Amino acid sequence: MSNILVGVTGGIAAYKSAYLVREFVRAGHNVKVMMTKKAESFVSHTTFEALSLNPVLRENNTPTPISHIDYSSWADVCIIAPATANTIGKINAGIADNELLSTILALKCPLVLAPAMNTNMYSNTIVQENIRSLQSKGIYMILPASGLLACQTEGEGKMQDPDIIAEKVLNILNSENDLSLKIENDMLSGLTILITAGPTKEYIDPVRYITNKSSGKMGYALAEEAYKMGANVILISGEVNIKSDIPNIQKIVSAEDMYNAFLSFYNEADIIIMAAAVADYFPVYENKKIKKNDNELVLHLQKTKDILSYAGTHKKENQVLVGFAAETNNMEEYAKQKLEKKKADIIAANDVSRKDIGFDSIDNEITLFFADGSITHTGKQSKQDIAKIILAESAILHSEKNK
Ligand code: CTP
């Protein structure tokens, strides 16, 4: 039984949300409803209180003084149906000028939107951009259907039927629960896990170097969580600004150092996770500081050794190898290519063009591509929770390989 928060905003489809609430209650879930003022001009809050058996969070009549916090922390999933163009735009802009929007901003659970509006409004570029932007932030959309709308126009914008919305919301809830159910506290005990983390630094001369934006947070989250789950952790780390109690940290500077450290330890690892942002090229090193003599300076770069590829070709049958793919576009295609080319078991791919996840942020959102063709989306979560999912999936694969 889960806690489902249903948000109703001001559109004629609000009457269908009564059926949605009834579907959830019939399926045995706890349901609470929140409504905007406009929504109440379409359907009375009494209808929702009778169906949900709970007080409705209303604009001018909140059940408690801090209902937006109480309702948001109570929810396991939140569905806004119908979601008007106005509410969609405000969520995307982070606006919290009513109780429903304030509750949404405080949510820690998955958020699902079921847009409903007139066809011209729905096809408006601004609305479409808002929808895409929210999807890229990990918010689920149950896109509208086509049909005859209440305004007597024919086209896209009709809210999906309540039974379809209910089924999709419950699927989202189950898939997120499945991932967390897979995690057991001691599932890595007795296993050795080698993790690479952080950036590499490639010196040009004694005072200058080339590096990248990696903070090392994802790799360290993996190492810390693996350690808590009972693993013997070997962390090979580039220079980062993170304090850690992991006993075995091999500190390195360059890609060459990381490769050498890797060679010393990879044989004893059961699971190898390559979260480091290793330089693809290094400059030919000048022993003395380069002087600025000419207008132009040409740096000659050579390819570094690809550690993940090396691990893939030298992998023992019972070892699990996980690589990362940081992509700005065509994520699925490139991740699948990497999986095959580098002979990894799992590629953890993320979209580094997004500002809310990746490099220096605390959250991340990863899609795991498995060698058997299956795919798992983590949704946006803290790097610690993402780390637990990656570790759990690796441990499951390891036990399958070692049956
Ligand atoms: N990697 C590595 N050794 C390198 C380069 C990368 O082990 N010399 C690992 C990273 O730790 C990561 C994965 O390979 O797990 C990333 O693959 P990579 O080919 O570096 O990705 P991109 O550099 O993004 O590749 P491309 O430029 O082809 O997109």
Task: Render pLDDT for 133-145 as a digit per residue (tens, 0 to 9).
Answer: 888 777 899 999 9
From CA 363, how far away is CA 357, in angstroms rounded? Answer: 5
Predicted TM-score (pTM) above 0.75: no
238 in the same domain as 209: yes
Runs of H (alpha helix) within 322-374: 331-341
Of the three residues 177, 202, 234, the one that is the final residue of a domain is: 177
207 versus 179: the higher-pLDDT residue is 207
Calculate the dihedral angle through the C-alpha atoms of 230, 235, 240, 243, rounding to the nearest 10 degrees.
Answer: 40
Q: Is 78 a catalytic residue?
A: no
> Do the domain assignments include residue 131?
yes
121 in the same domain as 88: yes
> Do the domain assignments include residue 263?
yes
- Name which of 45-49, 145-149, 243-247, 263-267 the model is least confident about: 145-149
Whether 20 lines ligand 1, by a CB cut-off of 6 Å, is no
226 in the same domain as 145: no
Give pLDDT tens digits for 265-316: 999 999 999 999 999 999 999 999 999 988 999 999 999 999 999 999 999 9
Whether 278 lines ligand 1, by a CB cut-off of 6 Å, is yes
Strands 77-83 and 3-8: parallel
With tokens 């059926």, the residue in question is 19
226 in the same domain as 172: no
From CA 313, how far away is CA 396, in angstroms rounded? Answer: 22
Count of domains forming the chain? 2
> Do the domain assignments include residue 184?
no
| Residues ≥6 apart with Cβ < 8 Å to 197 | 216, 218, 219, 220, 222, 223, 235, 236, 237, 238, 240, 275, 276
Q: If you take atom 8 of ligand 1, which residue's CA is the nearest one?
A: 306
Ligand 1: which of 338, 341, 342, 352 to mutate, judged by most atoms within 8 Å of the beta carbon? 338
> Do the domain assignments include residue 71?
yes
Mean pLDDT of the chain: 93
The residue range of the domain holding 33 is 3-177
44 in the same domain as 87: yes
Whether 236 lines ligand 1, by a CB cut-off of 6 Å, is no
369 in the same domain as 241: yes
Q: Out of 93, 151, 375, 396, pick the active-site residue.
A: 151
From CA 191, how far away is CA 398, in angstroms rounded? Answer: 10
CA of 44 to the centre of ligand 1 (A): 56
CA-based nearest residue to 114, from 167, 176, 44: 167
From CA 378, how far away is CA 395, in angstroms rounded? Answer: 16
Ligand 1: which of 213, 222, 324 to mutate, judged by most atoms within 8 Å of the beta carbon? 324
> Do the domain assignments include residue 303?
yes
304 in the same domain as 259: yes
